[in-house]
Amino acid sequence: MQIILIHPRKAGAVHLSRRGVFVAIGAALLTVAALSVGGTWLAAKQGLLPGASASAPAAADPRITRENLNLMAARIGEMQAQIARLDALGARVSGLAGVPPREFNFKSQPGRGGPEGAFSRPMSMPEIQSELDRLTRSADQRNDYLSVLESTLMDRQIHAKLMPTVRPVATGYDSSGFGVRIDPFTGRRTQHDGVDFVGPVGTPIVAAAGGVVVASEFHHEYGNMIDIDHGNGLKTRYAHASKVFVKVGDIVKAGERIALIGRTGRATGPHLHFEVHVNDVPQNPVAFLENAGQPKMAVNKTPAPSVAAADIGKSMAAAGH
């Protein structure tokens, strides 16, 4: 089960997984419990519950009938059970969110136990009022807790969607890594700000993460290039494409096809030059891609162009930029 939300400051849709649904269920339980006890309280005060005297006006007899008190006590027991279930739900969601149990603890009350039995005497009005106040505070505490968990889960899911962990090409190999290398044109030692993935012309290139296209243009060195802004100072660049499918302002999702491998610009052969920048400082893309585990590619509804075996052999020459 997934709930799709649109984040106001982030690109694309956010899929709220089952753990997020747990939080929503917990909030709903709290609301139902509070409304149930609150409604019972108001009805009892106004003499509207079953068992209340219909013949005596409330103003003439301000006492609440014993039946109403017993009913309210039963409702309090139901609310206590619902809060106990919320404790278990909160503990489970905490584990899913990776929140240490010591940081959030529902169970602030001391341990209690013993055999279950009936009340030795009916609860009095002051006792019911005191218990209602305590349960209200307890419900508020749990509501705040679940709200924090919901925010934590949402932030982590958004963060995961916008991290460049999707391999931009499904096939090919890394012909030139990040760091100092021998420039293939000049023979001098130079800094290489990305990694090069060799592949035949026409191989699909996909977005490494969701974001907004901020550049889609021809550069004399990078050739046909695309820059994607993923927020929080994180950007990715895709260079030397033979064809691009996105324009400035487009919102893309992770794994979406954005271009095809080519050899435009300063390149010795067909390949993808891939960069990751954090606050405009080049980073080693491999560090991000390794965090993704197995490379993954989104299903592309548009058939990819067929590539002959001869083309694969031609593309084995490593690339420039």
**Domain with 100 in it:** 3-161
Q: Are residues 183 and 132 in the same domain?
A: no
Whole-number pLDDT of residue 51: 44
Q: Is the pLDDT of residue 142 over 70?
A: yes
Measure Cα distances from 200 to 14, 131, 308, 319 in Å.
34, 73, 9, 12
> Could you give the CA distance from residue 91 to residue 19 in angstroms, rounded to a whole number?
12
User: Which of 172-181, 235-244, 276-285 shows the lowest mean pLDDT across its residues?
Assistant: 172-181
Q: Can you tell me whether residue 155 is helix, strand or coil?
A: helix
Please indicate, yes or no, if residue 321 is contained in any of the structural domains: no
pLDDT for the residue 283: 93
What was the pLDDT predicted at 83? 77
In a shared domain, residues 223 and 114: no
In a domain, 320, yes or no: no
Lowest mean pLDDT among 59-63, 178-182, 199-203: 59-63
In a domain, 282, yes or no: yes
- Classify 157 as helix, strand or coil: helix
pLDDT tens-digit readout, 155-170: 777 777 778 899 999 8
Q: What is the CATH number of the domain that holds 187?
A: 2.70.70.10
Residue 140 falls inside a structural domain: yes
Q: Clarify whether residues 43 and 143 are in a common domain.
A: yes
Does one domain contain both 79 and 226?
A: no
Residue 192: predicted pLDDT: 92
**Are residues 227 and 89 part of one domain?**
no
Residue 287 is assigned to a structural domain of this protein? yes
The whole-angstrom separation of Cα 107 and Cα 149 is 16
- Between helix 18-45 and helix 125-161 the angle, nearest 10°, is 160
pLDDT at 92 over 60: yes
Task: For residue range 260-269, list pLDDT tens digits in order.
Answer: 999 999 999 9
Residue where a domain terminates, one of 161, 181, 214: 161
Question: How many domains does the chain fold into?
Answer: 2
Distance of CA 294 to the CA centre of its chain: 20
> How far is 20 from 156, CA to CA, in rounded Å?
11
Residue 166 lies in a domain: no
88-92, 200-204, 216-220: the lowest-pLDDT one: 88-92
Range scoring the smallest mean pLDDT among 6-10, 73-77, 135-139: 6-10
Contact 223, 266 (CB under 8 A): yes
d(CA 35, CA 188): 75
Q: Which of 254, 252, 256, 260 is CA-nearest to residue 315?
A: 260
Top-confidence residue, 260 or 136: 260
161, 186, 217: which is the final residue of a domain? 161
pLDDT for 174 beyond 60:
yes
Work out the average pLDDT over 163-191.
86
Do 61 and 127 belong together in one domain? yes
193 in the same domain as 114: no
Q: Answer yes or no: do 120 and 203 share one domain.
A: no
Judgement on whether residues 157 and 8 belong to the same structural domain of the protein: yes
- Whether residue 296 lies inside any domain: the answer is yes
- At 181 the three-state DSSP class reads strand
Question: Does residue 107 sit in the same domain as residue 249?
Answer: no
Residue bearing the bigger pLDDT, 142 or 190: 190
Calpha distance 301→21 (Å, rounded) = 30
Shared domain check, 195 and 106: no
Does pLDDT of 300 surpass 70?
Answer: no
Percent of the chain whose predicted confidence (pLDDT) is above 90: 31
Contact in structure between 51 and 43 (CB atoms under 8 Å): no
> How much is the pLDDT for 98?
65
Q: Is residue 167 in some structural domain? A: no
- pLDDT at residue number 37: 54
- Higher-pLDDT residue of 290, 105: 290
Q: Which residues of 135-154 are buried (b: 16+ CB within 10 A; e: fewer)?
A: beebbeebbebbebbbebbb
**pLDDT tens readout for residues 247-258:** 999 999 999 999
Residues 27 and 100 in one domain: yes
- Domain end call among 98, 133, 161: 161
**Residue 295 pLDDT > 50:** no
**pLDDT above 60 (res 309):** no
Mean of pLDDT over the chain: 72
What pLDDT band is residue 241 in, cutting at 50, 70 and 90? very high
